[in-house]
Structure 1
Amino acid sequence: MKREFTVIIEQDEQGYFVGEVPELQGCHTQAKSLDELMERIKEAILLCLEAEGKKVPSTHFIGVQRVAV
């Protein structure tokens, strides 16, 4: 059974794409292209699930909110 995870993608100053999975603590990676990032994030998710004993996380990503201060 496939599971879906949310991936937050940002781009750093050097042009690298950085992906993070909020449901899995410490699950992140980076790449030069979006295609490469998506392949790497899938590998990172599998590794994180393996490290957690394939437990489904109990938290769910809700959304992103911008705040001006």
Structure 2
Amino acid sequence: MKVLNYRVILRKEPEGGYTVIVPALPGCVTYGETIEEAIKMAKEAIELYVESLKAHNEEVPSDDETLEVVVSIANP
């Protein structure tokens, strides 16, 4: 069994909780009240997304070759 790894971005929401985005899987977005719940929900969302891709005979993207950098700009 191959292990797939995906980066997730957790964004704290003003009303509380965290929105989770999976950049390698367009439209794969979920939410959790806590960081732990958000990560759990992300794993579930990714599993369902990949399962759907396979069911439709679509390619399952990998995040292995993705580079991540932070770009800083001045805020006048």
User: What range is the shorter-chain TM-score in?
Assistant: 0.7 to 0.9
Partner of 2:60: 56
| Structure 2 portions without partners, runs of 5+ | none
| Structure 1 portions without partners, runs of 5+ | none
Q: What is the alpha-carbon distance in structure 1 between the residues aligned to residue 15 and residue 66 of structure 2?
A: 28
1:36-55 to 2 correspondences below 5 Å: 36-53=37-54, 55=59
Size of the aligned set, in residue pairs, is 69
TM-score, with structure 2 as normaliser: 0.74
Aligned AA for 1:22?
P
* Rg larger for: 2
**CA-based RMSD:** 2.0
TM-score, with structure 1 as normaliser: 0.81
